[in-house]
Structure 1
C-alpha cells in the first residue's frame, strides 16, 4: 500500500515531465561543436563507420580510425584528410581484447585522449541456431558486445577525469525486438543496448554528467551484410540517412535513436499488448532475408 501511495505522489511530476517533453519537440536543440575533439570510430573501413568518420571530418574533428581491413581503413583515412581533418588509421581486430588494449595504448601515447568513442564495429551471421557455428557465435559477442567493454574501459577514464566526452553505441532495432534466423545477432544487440543503458546510469550515479551517451538502433540498412532483406515497415534504409540521424543525435546529445522512428512505437507495443496480437503484427510486418537453415525435421 505504501509503495502505491508513493507512486501516486509522483503523478504530478509525471505530468510535468510529459509536458516538458512535448514542448521540447517543437524547440530545436542547439547542436554542440565537435571541432578539435579526438574521435575514435571502430569498424571505420566501410559502411556506417566510414560515413560517420566523414561527417566528423567535415566538422574538423581529429579522427582515429580502427578496422580489421587495412585497405578499407586507409581509404577512409585518405578521404577524411581530403575533407581537411587529421586522420590516423589503425588495423585493429575488435574481436581480440589484447589487440584493442595495445592499440588504445598507442592512440593515447601518439595522439592523445579520445573524447568521443563510436563503438560501431559489428558482425552478423544470417542463419538459424543449428547452422551458426560455435566460433561464429563467439565472434558475434566478441565484436558486437565485448569490444564495447574493452574500448570503453580504455578511453572512458580520461573522459571522466575531464567530465567531458561521449560514448556512442551502434546497436540495432534487433536489440529491442527479435527476428528469426538472427539469434546470435539479436542476443548480442540486446546486450549492446543493455550496455548503453547501464553505462548511462552508472555515469549518472558517479556524477559524471559531462560524459554523454548515445545509442543508435536502426532497422535493416543497405550495406550488403544481410542479403535481400524486405519488410513491410518500409524500404531498406540507405546508410547516408542512418548516419545523418546518428550525427544529429550525437550533436544534440540524444540518448536513444530509432531509425525509422516507428521502431520506438513497436518496442512500446511489445511491452503492453497481448502476445497473440503481437504475433499477428509480426506476420503483417513480414521480415524476410536470405538465411541458412541447419535444422532438419527428423520425421522427414
Structure 2
C-alpha cells in the first residue's frame, strides 16, 4: 500500500507568504490622554443625534408609553408625540434641503473610479490614499516626495513625483495617469503648506508660494482633470480648505487667505457645474476642518479641548470617505464649532471681538512657537 503524503508532509512545498510592512500612525509626540480628554461637546452632540434628536428613537418612546397604557391625553404622552413629530419634520426638511441643494447622489463603484489625491504621501492625504489602496481602488497620488516602487506596490497606490504648484508638471502627471489608469473621476485636492508669520515679516515670495500651492494649484488640477469628468459625465471633486478660511487668524494671514479663496472657489465651481448639463453627475465636497492632529500644526494647543477638540486625520478621512462613497455632494465641517464658524461673520462686531479673545485664536500661533516655521501637507 502506497502512503499518500499528508497536508502536513514536509515534502509538499507551501507557497511563501508575502511579507507586508506595517507602519503605525504617527502621534507626533503626543502622550496618551486620560479618559476625560475624549469627553467633548462633539461626543455629546453625536450621542444626542442618535438618541434624543433621532426621529426613530422619539417614536419608540411614544410606543413605550403606550405599552404602559399611558392615555393619549396624558401630558407626557402629548409631549412625546409632539417631540417625535418635530424631529420627523426636521429630518424630512433636511432630506429635501439636501436634495434641492445637491441633487440626487450618483452611483459609486470603486472598480470603475480613478482617484487622484494631491499631497497624498503623509497626513490626511496619505491616509486616504492608503485606505483606497487597501481596497484595491485605482489611486494616483501627486506629491513632491518620492516613494519607492516596493512601498508603492505594498500600498497599492501609484505615486507621481509632481509639484502641483507647477502647471506643466501637473499636466505631465495627468497624461501618465490617463495612460496608466484611465480618465480620473475623483479628485481630492488636499495638498497645502503653512508659513506662520506676521504680515510685515512675510516676503512676497513666501506669500506667492503659499497661494500657488494652496489655491492656484486647485485651478490647475480643475482645468486638468475636470474635462475628463465632464466627458465621462460623472465625478467627485473634494476641496480641502480650513475653518480658518471663515475666521482668519494672526500670524497666519497667507494661509487663511488662501483657504478663504478655496471656499469661494468651491461655491463658484458648484455654480458653473450647475449650468453644464453634462456635469449633472459631478459632485462637489467642501471640507473645512478645525485644528487637525497633523505635523502642520504640531505643538499648537487648543484653547478648550471640550469645546474645540483636535481632529485626528482618521476622523476626518472617515467622513470624507463616507460622503464620496455615497455619491453625494456636501460640506464636511468638524469638530462641531467648525460647522457654525460662518455665523461669526453675522454677529455684532463687539460680540465677535469678545469671542475671538475668549477663544485665543489670534494668540495660538505665537504661543505655540510655530512662527517662522514652514510646514507642509504635500511633502
TM-score under structure 1 length normalisation: 0.82
- CA apart distance, 1:247: 1.3
1:68 aligned to which of 130, 135, 144: 144
Please give the per-residue CA displacement for 1:174-222, whole angstroms capped at 9, x wherever unaligned: 1222111110001100111111111111101112110111111111111
State the match for 1:241 in structure 2.
315
CA shift in 2, pair 1:166/1:133, >3 Å: same
Instruction: Name the SS for the 1:225 alignment partner.
Output: helix
- CA apart distance, 1:170: 0.9
Kept in 1: contact 2:138–2:181 (CA 8 A): no
1:267, 1:162 → 2: CA distance? 35
2:120, 2:95 → 1: CA distance? 37
Kept in 1: contact 2:308–2:337 (CA 8 A): no
State the match for 1:224 in structure 2.
295
Instruction: Name the SS for the 1:259 alignment partner.
Output: coil
State the match for 1:200 in structure 2.
270
Kept in 2: contact 1:44–1:76 (CA 8 A): no
State the match for 1:106 in structure 2.
176
Aligned pair 1:35/2:111, yes or no?
A: yes
Q: How many pairs are equivalent?
A: 267
State the match for 1:21 in structure 2.
93
Instruction: Name the SS for the 2:333 alignment partner.
Output: strand
Please give the per-residue CA displacement for 1:214-259, whole angstroms capped at 9, x wherever unaligned: 1111111111212421232423221111111221222232421101
Structure 1: runs of 5 or more not aligned: 1-16, 82-86, 294-300
- CA apart distance, 1:31: 8.5
Instruction: Name the SS for the 1:157 alignment partner.
Output: helix
- CA apart distance, 1:116: 0.4
Please give the per-residue CA displacement for 1:25-82, whole angstroms capped at 9, x wherever unaligned: 9xxx9984433311011101100110011222244320111110114x768734422x
State the match for 2:337 in structure 1.
262
CA shift in 2, pair 1:156/1:116, >3 Å: same
State the match for 1:162 in structure 2.
232
* Greater Rg over alpha carbons, structure: 2
Kept in 2: contact 1:65–1:77 (CA 8 A): no
Instruction: Name the SS for the 1:176 alignment partner.
Output: helix
2:95, 2:121 → 1: CA distance? 40
CA shift in 2, pair 1:177/1:31, >3 Å: farther
User: CA-atom RMSD, angstroms?
Assistant: 2.4
Please give the residue correspondences for 1:1-300 in structure 2 after superposition, counting only pairs within 5 Å.
Answer: 20-22=92-94, 32-71=108-147, 77-81=152-156, 87-207=157-277, 208-231=279-302, 232=304, 233-252=307-326, 253-268=328-343, 270-287=344-361, 288-289=364-365, 290-292=369-371
**Greater than 3 Å deviation, 4+ residue runs:** 17-25, 29-33, 73-76
